[in-house]
């Protein structure tokens, strides 16, 4: 496998595969083992379909309508009707990367040989991904149980040659035209195939994988900006000593403290808390930065563990298992593995941890701007306070983002609205948890960017006054300025500067600038 191709086998996928397909447009291929496994499972389904007794998902209706036995001549219509009726989403289009992750993860489960679909169905979904054809999926429609039904149904409809999709250029065009342009034949779905295409946690899982990747970078960025603020506020680095964190052995806390210590190594600004205006200790937002960020890191580690387990799973209902007497050697069993609770919980946990990280970053920014608490910095880091307002309103924007993150931290997974005539009487709301987490991740990046913007300006003011920042913070300061984010001076149009700071953080440039001096950070 080269860096541009992801080979899908019968045993799941890794988070790096999801990111490669969703964000980098990697080509997908089905392994020979996946194809043979799907063929064997299909033989089981077809044998059961030929029997007179009803089998859920094969020869019956679905959900509360599962009591009806469907005759063979109506089963193709049953699958079409299922997909069409379930493609009932509303609201704005979700992002292209989310839809690609959704499709890839459904393909991963099809390739497991547990769903009973023909290899042709999986091959057609792979062809859609490789052609850059992206179904239009809407914001609202999933309750996270039985999986992400409506979003997946919009994707399944495109396999049938129906619905809405956009081409590689992002323009929505008629689906038959898009398929024909890329030599893709629409699929005529057979027994169980419509159900297998829509019955999974793929949307919420894809968003979880991407959020974990984004948050890993943001937690490192937040350690760097916390170190910048500590240095700019003339705080003490002694609270970062490894022996202090060893006696409270949370691994995330130790990692954050070690990051901050590396960034601050050799600083001529730290350790002055006993000088002109003696302080016994720094404020919590400075002193407890590793504890708060560390708790978030440990939450992230748990979320990644859940994601890895789900990536190894085959989520469908019913599923094909070994041990039957059919020609395929298997049996079909109903189950509840489509329930999104495991994924929904960690999506909500991450939103809570991210909100708290944003909150403590904002408190450090506010301290940098307050002349009564900044230990000699000018009010609002303004050039001529009173004439200039400096970064006063930048902190307002940051505070508004923190407030929004607190609202987004309200868990979605504690809610449940029964559906399907009370057959599906407890649902996960995992899709909703994932959607709000994506908004929270973006807000967190902006909050960190504002802290970086303020702390680098404060450090430059200290440097002009003769202070000597650490080598790593000096490297960050130079990289920020090289990226077009300005330093101290008279008031100017701030919005473009803040957007430039945000781009610097989201691109990973902040972390790379620090690591150029410190070496790899956790």
Which residues form the catalytic set? 56
* Per-residue CA distances from 370 to 274, 307, 334, 378 (Å): 20, 42, 62, 8
DSSP secondary structure string for all residues of 184-240: -PPP---TTHHHHHH-SSHHHHHHHHHHHHHHHHHHHHHHHHHHHHHHHTT--GGGG
Angle, helix 392-408 to helix 430-464, in steps of 10 degrees: 160
d(CA 274, CA 26) in angstroms, rounded, equals: 56
Q: Which residue has the tokens 């509303």?
A: 90
Q: Which residues pair with 6 in a beta bridge?
A: 28
3-state helix, strand, coil in the chain (%, to 5): 55, 5, 35
| 3-state DSSP of 293-350 | HHHHHHHHHHHHHHHHHHHCCCCCCCEEEECCCCCCCEEEECCCCCCCHHHHHHHHHH
> Is the peptide bond preceding residue 146 cis, with omega within 30 degrees of 0?
yes
N-terminal to C-terminal alpha carbon distance within the chain: 28
Is 11:109 a contact under the CB 8 Å cutoff?
Answer: no
Backbone phi and psi for residue 72, each to the nearest 5 degrees, phi listed first: -55, -40
For residue 407, count other CB atoms closer than 10 A to its CB: 12
Is 34:113 a contact under the CB 8 Å cutoff?
Answer: yes
d(CA 366, CA 387) in angstroms, rounded, equals: 20
Q: Half-sphere exposure of 20 toward its Cβ, with a 13 Å CA cutoff?
A: 18
Is 80:296 a contact under the CB 8 Å cutoff?
Answer: no
Q: Where are the alpha helices (DSSP H) in 373-508?
A: 392-408, 430-464, 471-482, 494-506
Of 245, 246, 249, 247, nearest to 289 by C-alpha is 245
């Amino acid at each position: 496998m080269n860096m541009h191709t992801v080979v899908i086998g019968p045993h799941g996928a890794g988070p790096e595969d999801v990111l490669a397909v969703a964000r980098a447009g990697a080509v997908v291929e089905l392994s020979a083992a996946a194809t043979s496994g799907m063929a064997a499972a299909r033989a089981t389904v077809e044998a059961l379909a030929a029997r007179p007794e009803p089998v859920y998902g094969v020869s019956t209706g679905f959900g509360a309508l599962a009591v009806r036995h469907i005759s063979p001549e109506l089963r193709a219509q049953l699958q079409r009707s299922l997909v069409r009726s379930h493609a009932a989403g509303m609201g704005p289009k979700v992002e292209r990367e989310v839809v690609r992750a959704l499709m890839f993860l459904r393909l991963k489960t099809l390739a497991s040989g547990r769903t009973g679909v023909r290899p042709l169905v999986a091959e057609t979904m792979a062809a859609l991904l490789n052609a850059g054809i992206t179904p239009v999926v809407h914001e609202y429609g999933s309750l996270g149980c039985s999986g992400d039904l409506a979003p997946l149904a919009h994707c399944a409809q495109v396999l049938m040659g129906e619905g809405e999709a956009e081409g590689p250029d992002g323009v929505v065009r008629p689906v038959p035209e898009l398929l024909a342009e890329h030599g893709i034949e629409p699929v005529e779905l057979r027994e169980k195939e419509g159900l297998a295409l829509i019955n999974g946690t793929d949307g919420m899982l894809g968003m979880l994988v991407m959020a974990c990747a984004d948050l890993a970078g943001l937690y490192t960025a937040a350690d760097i900006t916390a170190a910048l603020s500590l240095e700019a506020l003339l705080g003490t680095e002694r609270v970062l000593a490894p022996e202090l964190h060893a006696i409270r052995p949370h691994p995330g806390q130790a990692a954050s403290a070690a990051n901050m210590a590396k960034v601050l190594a050799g600083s001529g600004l730290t350790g002055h808390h006993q000088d002109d205006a003696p302080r016994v200790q720094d404020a919590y937002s400075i002193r407890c930065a590793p504890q708060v960020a560390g708790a978030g890191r440990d939450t992230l580690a748990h979320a990644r563990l859940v994601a890895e387990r789900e990536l190894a799973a085959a989520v469908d209902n019913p599923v094909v298992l070994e041990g039957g007497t059919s020609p395929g050697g298997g049996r079909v069993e109903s189950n509840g593995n489509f329930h999104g609770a495991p994924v929904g919980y960690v999506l909500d946990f991450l939103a809570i941890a991210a909100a708290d990280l944003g909150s403590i970053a904002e408190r450090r920014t506010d301290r940098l701007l307050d002349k009564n608490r900044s230990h000699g910095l000018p009010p609002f880091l303004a050039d001529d306070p009173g004439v200039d307002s400096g970064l006063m309103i930048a902190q307002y924007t940051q505070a508004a983002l923190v407030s929004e993150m607190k609202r987004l931290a309200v868990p979605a997974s504690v809610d449940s609205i029964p559906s399907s005539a009370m057959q599906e009487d407890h649902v996960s709301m995992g899709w909703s948890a994932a959607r709000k987490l994506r908004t929270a991740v973006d807000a967190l990046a902006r909050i960190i960017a504002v802290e970086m913007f303020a702390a680098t300006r404060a450090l430059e003011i200290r440097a002009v006054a003769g202070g000597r920042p650490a080598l790593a913070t000096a490297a960050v300061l130079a990289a920020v300025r090289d990226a077009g984010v300005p330093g101290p001076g008279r008031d100017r149009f701030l919005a473009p500067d803040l957007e430039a700071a945000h781009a610097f953080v989201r691109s990973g440039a902040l972390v790379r600038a620090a690591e150029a001096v410190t070496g790899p950070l956790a």
